[in-house]
Amino acid sequence: MRVKPSALTAIVAILGYLVVVFSVWMITDLDYDEVGDTVENVRTGITLAIGLGVIYLVIVTTALGWWKPAIHEPRKVGGGWMWAVPVLLALGALINLATTKWGEIDQVGPYVGYLALGTVFVGFSEELLTRGLAIVGGRGSMHEKWVWAFSSLIFGLIHVPNVLFGQSGAETVKQVVFVEALPHTKRGEVEQVLPEALKGNFFSLNLETVRGALEKLPWVRKVDVRRVWPAKLEISIEEHKPVARWGSASGELVNSFGEVFSGNLPDQELDAMPLLFGPQGTASEVLSRYGEFVEAFAAIGEMPVQVTLSPRLAWQLKLQNGMLVDIGREQPKAPVGVRLQRFIEIYPETVAKRAVRPAVVDLRYPNGFAMRVAGEGKGK
């Protein structure tokens, strides 16, 4: 050996390695939490940075003349059972590779290539640092029982600088679980907004930020987020349940709470929904009235398919058979419900038995109603 082993020499060599690697990170302004997000980040933050570190270690180890003791351990410890550890690790890696959704990764070929090469660099450099230089240097300065403690301490300390580049010093969230299935919200939409909201560790993560990010998605009505010890985030999403179309604007729907939202549905599902119209802010009232109209007309076997509340608060509805029913505004002496019920009671005899059903029925009269057949004048 060209240089006598000592703990101080090992520490200086290891510090030099950290300077090389993290200088690349400083120059490229790379954040630890984003190192695996893109091909460019993997190439720069892992393959290039650690690769330069490997070159540095090869030069330093050669200059010190520590290669033989660093890579060769003359003492035999343990037994054949210890091979079970790398076998299990290899099995876990194979399972992980088999279950990875490669199709969802952009530029999967270069990404995997750079990541595989970078992984080899990481394994080589950390082994040479902590199980090589640290042990060789430690054995030159301390008793054997402290050598392994020294090596383990070095292994932990070389990861401390990660905190300066964005890694949380506390436990990070390792798993995000969605409680319910999401029939309308696509996985890609969630993956687009969620990572930016998952900043911080298990304790500092802002749950309101996560909730707000998800509630901006079109089909999401309400989100509940809670922490589950030790490193899990449980998310419960209530999606909008569309019950009607709203207005003439494409894509506007009304949910079961009478709230208007934007969402896309197949034409077949849209055609099966009633169409509601009304001034801004009246969707809940119009939906409630629609329910009352459906219940009322069920008695005579008819079904409203369109309900309109005019700017002057007058009601009109269209039945499944094409008939328009003008109910008008609320009247103190003849409320909407009273006029409608009177029409329902006499409908079987006065309307249903007509050879030609009226195109329009006008219920705005306090004591009667008018009917108009297409192509004819009014009649009482």
Rounded mean pLDDT, 231-260: 93
Question: pLDDT tens-digit profile of 120-170?
Answer: 999 999 999 988 999 999 988 888 889 889 999 998 888 888 877 766 655
pLDDT at site 379: 47
Highest mean pLDDT of the ranges 39-53, 211-225, 362-376: 211-225
pLDDT at site 368: 85
pLDDT at site 9: 93
Give the residues across from 103 on adjacent strands: none
Question: pLDDT tens-digit profile of 8-20?
Answer: 999 999 999 999 9
CB 231 within 8 A of CB 250: no
Give Cβ neighbours of residue 41 (< 8 Å, ≥ 6 apart): 30, 34, 35
Domains 175-239 and 242-379 share a fold: no
pLDDT at site 170: 59
pLDDT at site 378: 47
Q: Bin 301: left if φ > 0, else alpha if -120 < ψ < 50, else beta.
A: left
Q: What is the DSSP string of 273-332?
A: S-EEE-STT-HHHHHHHHHHHHHHHHTTT--EEEEEE-TT--EEEEETTS-EEEEES--S
Rounded mean pLDDT, 213-233: 93
Class of domain 175-239: alpha beta
Mean pLDDT rounded to a whole number for the chain? 88
pLDDT at site 93: 79
Edge-to-edge strand list for the sheet holding 370-372: 260-262, 252-255, 242-246, 275-277, 304-309, 315-319, 324-328, 360-362, 370-372, 378-379
Q: What one-letter code names the amino acid at 312? A: R
Whole-number Å distance between alpha carbons of 47 and 40: 10
Domain range summary for the chain, segments of one domain joined by +: 7-165, 175-239, 242-379
Q: What is the DSSP string of 352-374?
A: TTSSS--SEEE--SSS--EEE-T
Report the SS3 class of residue 362.
strand
Class of domain 242-379: alpha beta
How many C-beta atoms surround the C-beta of residue 274 within 10 A?
21
Q: What are the counts of helices (DSSP H) followed by strands (DSSP E) for the chain? A: 13, 13
Sign, CA torsion 127/128/130/136: positive
* Confidence class for position 380, pLDDT limits 50, 70, 90: very low
pLDDT at site 103: 72
Cα-flanking dihedrals φ and ψ of residue 379, to 5°?
-150, 155
Going by the DSSP 8-state scheme, the letter that residue 184 receives in this structure is S
Q: What one-letter code names the amino acid at 334? A: A
Rounded mean pLDDT, 109-117: 88
Taking the model in full, what pTM does it have?
Answer: 0.57
Query: What are the tokens at 325?
Result: 């029913």
